């Protein structure tokens, strides 16, 4: 019933806006209305500046010191820990072998601030509502030390695949990927999540510097179209948030209609309390929440605001059955889905969720054999196998799909590592290591 009412309200509102504005307002005029003439002029001038790039380290695999030794011509991110700003003309980090091994995640400098401002705990139950391609969930997982549970949802099935690939590459284990329109199931999850990340779909004006074509696609009608989606999503998020829990709302839009107005909409239609985010030099704070703009910080546009639901936070009790100790050790529950085995921190009965991926994919049963998965190798296999360390030349051969001639004392399944970081699970007869690296990932370095 609620969804039908929201749909009718949205339809009527869009007709009203179309009649009112007839799409005549320019982006500059609208920007002045949103942030004032002085800030608008500074922002428009900054759009000609060169975009910077950022990298978030996977601290399970590499330290800040090791990374700086390898890539000295970078600078620390001014806000985010274990993150760095780099020049793409100097370092092509996306093509480096460290990227393939999951040592880091490439993310826009402003976008990575969202999760950095949230105080994640190891026993948190987190919902990332619009999660793909995964940066905010990845950062949350790293801050939670792979404990607790993150439900990373995305409406797009194809984008869930991109999210899954990134989690697999980095060996992120405490995440369940779901593919849902949350408006259809949220009533089953009242007061459920300790923390919720809502990086809402938006008109995208904060990305104009990276993609000039988006400027030509901008219109005030588009802004209001997304505002109605955002209003619906933020109410859904607040409904699913536990008393005492924290909701982070963000967009990559400069429009106050999608930013402060949506924040104020939640405050006016709920008992939500605004959370004060301490000021930093890079922040632009005027009204509700904060903005990151290239005129103040050399990242793209980002709006961030946080809310708290009044009450005492009650934590989730996680269940760790661990029925397959020979395959998975530690704090993972093991779940069999068809012929596949998954390991996950089990703290939530996911009624109504379309599960794209349960936690860590351990592997697949094929007749009488069990084939281990790359995700398991990268995530939680380290204590369960004999380890064979690969030199750099051997690593490159293996990633290219070659088998390796390597005398060792082990036979059977082994965990291949490089610099003590997991590469893959392979099999050896003691002389030759068979290549089990996924064919779709094989490449030469």
pLDDT value of position 307 = 98
167 and 260 assigned to the same domain: yes
Asked whether residue 69 is assigned to any structural domain, the reply reads no
Asked whether residue 75 is assigned to any structural domain, the reply reads no
- Sign of the Cα torsion 90, 93, 97, 103 reads positive
> Which residue of the set 160, 202, 252, 380 is catalytic?
252
Asked whether residue 204 is assigned to any structural domain, the reply reads yes
pTM for this predicted structure: 0.91
252 is catalytic: yes
pLDDT value of position 322 = 45
How many domains are contained in the chain? 2
Domain containing residue 251: CATH number: 3.40.50.150
294 and 240 assigned to the same domain: yes
Task: Look at residues 369, 397, 425 and tell me which one is the last residue of a structural domain.
Answer: 369
Domain containing residue 408: CATH number: 3.10.450.720
323 and 426 assigned to the same domain: no
pLDDT value of position 1 = 47
319 and 417 assigned to the same domain: no
Task: Look at residues 327, 342, 369 and tell me which one is the last residue of a structural domain.
Answer: 369
Asked whether residue 389 is assigned to any structural domain, the reply reads yes
274 and 415 assigned to the same domain: no
Asked whether residue 81 is assigned to any structural domain, the reply reads no
- Domain residues for the domain of 422 are 385-445
Query: 442 Cβ partners below 8 Å, 6+ apart?
Result: 399, 400, 401
* Residue from 277, 278, 370 nearest 328 by CA: 370
392 and 280 assigned to the same domain: no
* Residue from 419, 360, 358 nearest 384 by CA: 360
Asked whether residue 66 is assigned to any structural domain, the reply reads no
Distance CA 211, CA 261 (A): 25
pLDDT tens, position by position, 356-400? 999 999 999 988 888 999 999 999 888 889 999 999 999 999 999
Cα 234 → chain centroid: 18
Residue 200 · residue 229 · CB < 8 Å = yes
Cross-strand bridge partners of residue 83: 56
HEC sequence for 292-356: ECCCCCCCCCEEEEEEECCCCCCCCCCECCCCCCCCCCCCCEEEEECCEEEEECECCCCCCCCEE
443 and 365 assigned to the same domain: no
Query: 362 Cβ partners below 8 Å, 6+ apart?
Result: 324, 327, 328, 334, 340, 341, 342, 343, 372, 373, 375, 376
145 and 190 assigned to the same domain: yes
pLDDT value of position 286 = 84
44 and 167 assigned to the same domain: yes
389 and 292 assigned to the same domain: no
pLDDT value of position 51 = 86
227 and 290 assigned to the same domain: yes
Asked whether residue 193 is assigned to any structural domain, the reply reads yes
349 and 401 assigned to the same domain: no
Under-50 pLDDT residues of the chain: 1-5, 7-8, 11, 15, 18-19, 21-22, 320-323, 325
Asked whether residue 325 is assigned to any structural domain, the reply reads yes
Distance CA 256, CA 354 (A): 34
């Amino acid at each position: 019933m609620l969804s039908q009412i929201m749909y009718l309200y949205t339809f009527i509102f869009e007709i009203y806006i179309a009649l009112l504005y007839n799409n005549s307002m320019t982006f500059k005029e609208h920007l002045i209305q949103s942030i004032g003439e002085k800030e608008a002029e500074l922002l428009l001038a900054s759009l000609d500046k060169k975009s910077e790039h950022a990298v978030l380290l996977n601290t399970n695999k590499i330290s800040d010191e090791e990374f700086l030794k390898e890539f000295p011509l970078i600078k620390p991110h001014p806000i985010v820990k274990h993150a760095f700003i780099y020049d793409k003309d100097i370092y092509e980090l996306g093509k480096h072998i460290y990227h393939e091994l999951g040592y880091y995640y490439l993310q826009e400098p402003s976008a990575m601030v969202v999760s950095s401002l949230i105080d994640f705990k190891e026993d948190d139950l987190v919902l990332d509502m619009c999660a793909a391609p995964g940066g905010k969930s990845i950062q949350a997982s790293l801050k939670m030390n792979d404990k607790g549970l993150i439900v990373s949802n995305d409406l797009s099935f194809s984008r869930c695949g991109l999210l899954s690939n990134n989690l697999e590459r980095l060996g992120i284990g405490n995440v369940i990927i779901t593919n849902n329109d949350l408006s259809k199931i949220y009533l089953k999850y009242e007061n459920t999540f300790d923390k919720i990340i809502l990086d809402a779909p938006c008109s995208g004006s904060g990305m104009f510097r990276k993609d000039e074509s988006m400027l030509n696609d901008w219109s005030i009608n588009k802004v209001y179209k997304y505002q109605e989606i955002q209003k619906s999503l933020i109410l859904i998020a607040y409904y699913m948030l536990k008393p005492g829990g924290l909701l982070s709302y963000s967009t990559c839009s400069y429009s106050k209609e999608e930013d402060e107005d949506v924040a104020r909409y939640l405050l006016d239609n709920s008992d939500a309390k605004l959370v004060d985010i301490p000021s930093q030099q890079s922040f632009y704070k005027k009204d509700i929440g904060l903005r990151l703009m290239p005129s103040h910080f050399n990242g793209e546009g980002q709006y961030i605001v946080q809310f708290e639901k009044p009450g005492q936070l009650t934590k989730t009790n996680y269940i760790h059955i661990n029925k397959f100790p020979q395959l998975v050790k530690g704090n993972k529950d093991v779940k069999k889905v068809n012929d596949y085995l998954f390991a996950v921190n089990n703290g939530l009965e996911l009624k109504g969720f379309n599960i794209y991926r349960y936690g860590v994919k351990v592997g697949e049963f094929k007749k009488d054999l069990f084939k281990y998965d790359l995700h398991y190798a990268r995530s939680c296999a380290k204590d369960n196998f004999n380890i064979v360390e690969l030199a750099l030349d051997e690593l490159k051969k293996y990633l290219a799909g070659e088998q390796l001639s390597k005398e060792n004392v082990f036979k059977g399944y082994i965990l291949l590592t490089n610099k003590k970081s997991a590469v893959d699970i392979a099999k050896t007869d003691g002389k030759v290591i068979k290549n089990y690296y996924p064919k779709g990932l094989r490449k030469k370095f």
